[in-house]
Amino acid sequence: MAQSGTPGLPRPSILPEIVPTQLYRLVVAVAAVLAAYYVSKLLRQLLGRRIARRFRRPSVTRTVLRAVQGAVVLLSGLLALNVLGIPIGDLAISLSVFSAVLGFVLAPLIGSVINGVFVLTERPYEIGDMIHLSDRDVYGFVEDITLRYTKVFTLDNTFLIVPNGSMRDRDVVNFSAEDSRTRLSLDVLVTYESDIGEARSRIEDAARKADKVIQGGPDIRIGGARYPAKPTCYIENYGDHGVNLRLRYWVTEPYKLLSLRSQVQTNVWDALADADVEFAYPHSHLVFDDTSGELQVGSRRRTEEISGGRATKQGRTGRSDEAGTGDEETES
């Protein structure tokens, strides 16, 4: 007959007397937890598509599925405690006291969870987006978003795990949000003697020949402004050493910005090689003639006078250079 009056799973009458009751309960509890774990994985697979169609966001979908799986495992754990005969009420009181003690230690973890909720609701980035962490100069793709951290798969083929609290406090540049088209710019400094019109035309043609560069089409709208989709070269300013031309162009994908920028610069170099255009660089010309005036440099009351290409030193001038005799004037 089954034993009664004691907490826990009753001992069945068919169980041999050689098997202890506590061992029987432990086996049943472990089996219940393992069965619940596999049931939770099956339930996650069955509900995956429905939840994905409901939320349409990979990060939220993964979080909800993790919550469902965790709830099933948690319920199985409570059931296992009941099977073992451990009172849940006493355990709850003990956990409350233990949680109060560990509250100070777990405060950063709880803060990360709260920040994770804000990250999921504010949607600054999504799984699959390409982002740039400006403070660390890291480019990468968002691999996963949990309640505690964000996993970034960098372009250097490494994983970067960043707590959500830190992600909310730093500047994150998202290249994939809503529209993956990205505008780049290139400054080209040419001399004043160059053919500016030909330079601008050739620079624009060179950008069009690069892969992934938008060659034309309707203007691209950013907020309330509209920008030309085709490459456009403007006169930025008139500098000290030449005319600064700024090329602006749009690329369809932000995933190879350095490679695209290098390709555009190579095309510009080749396009201006045989044109009436010369790259400018900082340089200075110093000219001295009879009208240049005088430059006086004093050092311990000695001066050098540079006038019309002639330099004479005046210092201890008490004796005549021609006579070679006379008393020197003592410096005071």
Residues 299 and 130: their CA atoms lie apart, in Å, by 61
Average pLDDT in the 13-18 region? 73
Which one has a higher pLDDT value, 329 or 177? 177
Alpha-carbon dihedral angle through residues 38, 126, 56, 212, given to the nearest 10 degrees: -120
pLDDT at 311 over 80: no
Q: What is the pLDDT of residue 323?
A: 43
Question: Greater confidence, 146 or 300?
Answer: 146
User: Which of 40-44, 131-135, 144-148, 266-270 has the least mean pLDDT?
Assistant: 40-44
**Which CATH class, in words, describes the domain spanning 123-174?**
mainly beta
pLDDT > 60? residue 49:
yes
Question: What does the alpha-carbon distance between residue 119 and residue 111 come to, in Å, rounded to a whole number?
Answer: 12
Q: How far is CA 46 from the centre of its chain?
A: 35
- Kindly compute the dihedral angle of the four CA atoms of residues 13, 17, 20, 25, in this order, to the nearest 10 degrees: -20
Residue type, 278: E
Write out the two tokens for 186. 């290139």
Average pLDDT in the 244-266 region?
Answer: 91
Single-letter residue type at 204: E
Task: Tokens for 320, please give them.
Answer: 């005549």
Q: Is the pLDDT of residue 313 over 60?
A: no
- Name the least confident of 51-65, 149-163, 210-224: 51-65
Mean pLDDT for the stretch of residues 188-205 = 94
pLDDT in tens, 236-254: 999 888 999 999 999 988 8
For the four alpha carbons of 182, 226, 187 and 263, in that order, the dihedral sign comes to: positive
Residue 307 has pLDDT above 70, yes or no: no
**CATH fold label, 182-271:** Alpha-Beta Plaits (3.30.70)
> How many residues are recorded in the chain?
332
- Name the range with the highest mean pLDDT among 69-73, 91-95, 129-133: 129-133
Q: Read off the pLDDT band of 322 (50, 70, 90).
A: very low
Q: Compute CA 208 distance to the chain's CA centroid, rounded to the nearest angstrom.
A: 28
pLDDT of residue 246: 96
End-to-end CA separation in angstroms for the chain:
124
pLDDT band at 208 (very low <50, low <70, confident <90, very high): very high
Q: Which band of pLDDT confidence, cut at 50, 70 and 90, is reported for residue 299? A: low
Q: Residue 71: helix, strand or coil by DSSP?
A: helix
* CB-based contact 227:300 (threshold 8 Å): no
Separation between Cα atoms, residue 331 and residue 16, nearest integer Å: 121
- Model-level pTM? 0.53
Distances (CA, A) of 254 to 58, 212, 232, 258: 21, 9, 19, 9
pLDDT at 250: 94
pLDDT band at 231 (very low <50, low <70, confident <90, very high): very high
Is pLDDT larger for residue 297 or for residue 189?
A: 189
Mean pLDDT of the chain: 76
**Domain ranges in the chain?**
21-102, 123-174, 182-271, 284-314
DSSP annotation of 65 reads H
pLDDT, residue 107, reads 63
Least confident of 70-79, 149-158, 203-212, 232-241: 70-79
Q: What is the pLDDT of residue 316?
A: 43
What's the one-letter identity of residue 312? T
**8 Å CB contact between 190 and 199:** yes
Confidence of residue 113 (pLDDT cuts 50, 70, 90): confident
Q: Rounding to the nearest 10 degrees, give the CA dihedral for residues 126, 128, 133, 137.
A: -170
The two structure tokens encoding residue 211: 């892969």
Helix (H, G, I), strand (E, B) or coil at 205: helix
Of residues 131 and 97, more confidence is placed in 131
* pLDDT at residue 4, rounded to an integer: 46
When pLDDT is averaged across residues 142-168 and rounded to a whole number, the result is: 85
How far apart are the C-alpha atoms of 90 and 88, rounded to whole Å?
Answer: 6
Cross-strand partners of 17: none
